[in-house]
Amino acid sequence: MTFFKKKSDGQMVALYGEVLGELHRRGIVRSGNNPIADMAETVVADYFGVEPEPPNQKSYDVKTKDGKRIQVKALRRTKSTRRSLSALRTLGFDYVAVVIFELDMELVEIVLIPLAAVKAHMGWSKTWKSHRLSVTKKLLDDPRVRRIPVSELV
């Protein structure tokens, strides 16, 4: 921890850039987007035994061997009340897979939500001009939702 305390703000930003570059070089991330999104896509693709779709694929990030289209969302538990996912701009998928990480990026689980359950639990954001979905107790208790623990992912 003292390593970071000795760094200036500018040095911390430069270090972040170096880390992102190295993650890209190693193939851990595939795009210039938030690295957690690329990591979540890889977790889901690995679970289904496929490769993630190209980064510019509209509506879904992973396509299973049987043709199911999965929109992947990452949720990092930065605080206990954090539940909101990034916007759902289209509904051209069969499932949303929410990959949940702890604050330190430890993988927790995948929550696999079929489109019918997404539609039942989503809302509309005028500000974002898109559908929004939150990982609530009500959503997690929906019998259509499947929780895949980390023990099944490794």
Give me the domain span that covers residue 109: 36-152
Rounded to whole angstroms, the Cα distance separating 42 from 63 reads 12
77, 138: one domain: yes
CATH number of 94's domain: 3.40.210.10
Residue 1: the pLDDT is 59
Question: How far is the first Cα of the chain from the last one, in angstroms, to the nearest whole number?
Answer: 29
93, 133: one domain: yes
Rounded to whole angstroms, the Cα distance separating 10 from 127 reads 32
pTM above 0.85, yes or no: yes
Residue 16: the pLDDT is 87
Residue-wise pLDDT tens digits, 82-126: 889 999 999 999 999 999 999 888 999 999 999 999 999 999 999
Residue 47: the pLDDT is 97
Long-range CB contacts (within 8 A, 24+) of 125-128: 125/87, 128/87
Count of domains forming the chain: 2
Residue 80 has pLDDT above 90, yes or no: no
